[in-house]
Amino acid sequence: MAKDKKMVTAITSMDEDFAQWYTDICKKAELVEYTSVKGCMVIRPYGYAIWENIQHILDGMFKATGHENVCMPMFIPESLLQKEKDHVEGFAPEVAWVTHGGSEKLEDRLCVRPTSETLFCEHYANIVHSYRDLPKLYNQWVSVVRWEKTTRPFLRSREFLWQEGHTIHATAQEAIEETERMLNVYADFCKDALAMPVVKGKKTESDKFAGAVSTYAIEALMHDGKALQAGTSHYFGDGFAKAFEIEYTDKDNKRVFPHQTSWGVTTRLIGAVIMTHGDDNGLVLPPAVAPIQVVIIPVAQHKEGVLEKAGELRDRLAAAGYRVKLDDSENSPGWKFAEYEMKGVPLRVEIGPRDIEEDQCVIASRWNGEKTFVPLAELETAVDQKLKEAHDGMYAKALENQEKRTYACTTVDEINKALEQGDGFIKAMWCGEEACEDSVKELTGVGSRCIPFEQEQISDKCVCCGRPAKCMVYWGKAY
């Protein structure tokens, strides 16, 4: 048993130091490595493979809703960025600038893409002339740069990978429907692929995206009770269109402004997976995005027929469409068990001489540690069932954590008392005034996360000022 635990002893207990636990997993599971560029990271092959699976699933969902992939430049001229005042002010503190090309100083310095609204607007102005040109449903998979002061792998870095969808529509109704549809795509993805429950809602005015009319978000609760904004979708109205002089001729032969949206998720989702499902032994990966869904460990592989049988099982599972690995290295079985446990591989198949004699194997599930003896003839069926059980079990466990850490409160004192039990979501009523929103954060440490679509009447008074409430808000401490 000591050998089985050798690798996981390198991971700090989450109860002892959650932040260090997170960093240990990122490093020990070989997801990232730090670089000489402060705030930037190398996403190592195992970490990038998780992102590739996220990308593959989401890309299919986007294309199923009619979106096409494009690619915009990395650089944005300052003169172009200045066309939308609110947008510029919102991003100014995080912008990185290119001031020289070679040895020559640039007359118009270039912003390194923090987001691409202005570039899309410039493009739309060139290609949208008639109602027949609409809608344009675009998405791009790129990296962006935001000069963050405090960084942490996946959660907040100066350069990160993401997708940003940008669409333009003839009417406000169409654009609003698009904004909500893509938020639902994100929520479905989190549930069906990441086994992660989320709360869907609208951001308050003070917390919306710079330049947006309204911002919608999905909020997830991590294992430590802190909230994580897992995805956003923005409705821009015709503000950007007016700033960039994007007009088209409608069916009545009138010149009018179109309406726009944008929406995005990032490599932050990998951090969300770590903090939603991980444990003191390392990663626990949802089957849909796990780089390796099944690892086969031969036991006593030096004995006749063991490696051959393990290879046969690998070939069968690969043919059935699973991402499978056979570890036939010279490391001990105990070392291998701990290694793939740390890397969060959903299923481990063990096969040894005795198993071969009895025409069976052992399947161990990472999410709950359960071991099952399975006849070799039923391997594919058992793996399929166990992977589904893993996803469903992980989702149920994460949902239980969210529900256990969600507190309904009617006063600021109740919020503070609830938080004595640990961080979590606070459900409380709000009058709609920004002053009360700020006061709640100042007095309790929790900020508004979203105004959920599914409203509840906790009380009829604002949690802060006691005046009539307009809506129920989810509050929380956030990453």
Per-residue pLDDT reduced to its tens digit, 124-173: 999 999 999 999 999 999 999 999 988 999 999 999 999 999 999 999 99
Fold of domain 11-277:
BirA Bifunctional Protein; domain 2 (3.30.930)
Integer Cα distance of 426 and 289 in angstroms: 30
Contact predicate 116/140, CB 8 Å: yes
Tokens of 449: 């996360």
Dihedral sign for Cα 399, 401, 402, 407, please. Answer: positive
pLDDT tens sequence across 305-321:
999 999 999 999 999 99
Supply the pLDDT for residue 99. Answer: 97
- Residue 3: per-residue pLDDT: 39
Which fold is adopted by the domain 406-476? Translation Initiation Factor IF3 (3.30.110)
Closest residue by Cα to residue 124 from 179, 70, 65: 70
Residues whose CB is less than 8 angstroms from the CB of residue 215 and which lie 6 or more positions away in sequence, other chains included: 202, 203, 207, 208, 209, 232, 233, 234, 235
Look at phi and psi of residue 227 and say left if phi exceeds 0, alpha if psi is from -120 to 50, else beta: beta
Q: Which residues contact 397 (CB under 8 A, 6 or more apart)?
A: 277, 367
Q: pLDDT digit string (tens) for 53-87?
A: 999 999 999 999 999 999 999 999 999 988 877 78
Pick the CATH number of 294-389 from 3.20.20.20, 3.40.50.360, 3.40.50.800, 3.40.50.300: 3.40.50.800
Segments of the chain with pLDDT less than 70: 1-9
Residue type, 373: F
Asked if 341 and 366 touch (Cβ cutoff 8 Å), the reply is yes
Q: Nearest 5°: phi and psi at 441?
A: -65, -40
pTM for this prediction = 0.95
Residue 230 amino acid letter: A
Q: What distance, in Å, lies between the first and last C-alpha atoms of the chain?
A: 36
Instruction: Go through the chain and tell me how many residues it has.
Output: 479
User: How does 197-219 read in b/e, with b if 16+ C-beta sit within 10 Å?
Assistant: bbbbbbbbeebbbbbbbbbbbbb
**Domain range list for the chain:** 11-277, 294-389, 406-476
